[in-house]
Amino acid sequence: MTRLLHLDASPRPGRAGTHEHGSLSRRLSHHFIEHWKAARPDDPVTRRDLGARPPSLLTVDWIEAAFTPTESRSARMAAALAESDTLVDEVIAADVLVLGVPLYNFSYPAAFKAWIDQIVRLERTVSFDAENTEEPFVPLLADRPRHAVILASRGGHGQSAGGPMAHMNFLEDSVRTAMTFMGIEQVHEVAIEYQEEGGERLWRSIRDALAEVESLVARLQSAGDECAAA
C-alpha cells in the first residue's frame, strides 16, 4: 500500500478544463490522483488545500518553541507548534507527495512557502550535528524511499531546466532543495506552460503534461510493486 499526500497551492478553487477560471496546477494534481486511484483504489490519500486554507506564517512564539527541546516545552509552546506537528506528521506518513504548485512571480505562492516553513523542522524532519563541520544537517526522512512530484503551471514558456527563460524560474529548484534537505531524494517534475498566451500551444502543453503525469504514475506504481516484491 502506498500513502499519498495531495497538496494544492493555487488560490483558484476549480480545475482548468472543468471550471471557469480553474487552475492548471490543480488539473495536473487531480489527474495524478485520479489516474493513481484508477489502478490502486485502496491506496489512501490525505488531501490538503493550501490555496483555500493557507498554513500560518511563522511567529516568534513558533520559533521559540521549535528551538526549545521537546521535554522543556511549555503548554503554550506545544500549542504554538500544533499546526506544524500536524503538517509534519502528514509528510512523514506519506510515500508520495503530490504537489500542485503554480509559478507566481518567479517562485511559488506564499501559501506554499508557509507550508515549507512549517514542515522543515529541527528534530522532526532534519537534525543538526554540531560535531560534523562538513555536513552538519542530517535529513530525517531518508528512513525509507519517498517521492515528491512537483506539478507546476507557468504563464510563460521556456522556463524548464535548460530553457531560455529558466533563469527566471526558482520554483522547482527551491522545492527540490527543501525536499532533499529533509531526505526526500526522488523528486519528479511536470509542468504546463503558455497559460498567458493560450491557444494551440497551451492546448499542446496541457495534453503533453497530462500524458507525462500518466506515464509517471505508471512508473511510480511499477517501482513500488517491485520494492514490495523484493
Measured distance CA(32)–CA(30) in Å, rounded: 5
Nine cell digits for residue 79: 500549542
Residue given cell 507557468 in the structure block? 154
84 is in an annotated binding site: no
107 is in an annotated binding site: no
29 is in an annotated binding site: no
Give strand pairing partners of 151. Answer: 100, 190
Measured distance CA(87)–CA(125) in Å, rounded: 11
Residue given cell 504514475 in the structure block? 217
Long-range contacts of 83-87 (CB under 8 A, 24+ apart): 83/55, 83/56, 83/118, 84/118, 84/119, 84/121, 84/124, 85/124, 87/48, 87/55, 87/115, 87/118, 87/119
DSSP 8-class letter at 167: G
24 is in an annotated binding site: yes
25 is in an annotated binding site: yes
144 is in an annotated binding site: no
156 is in an annotated binding site: yes
DSSP 8-class letter at 47: E
Binding site: residue ranges? 10, 23-25, 153-156
Binding site for FMN: residue ranges? 10, 23-25, 153-156
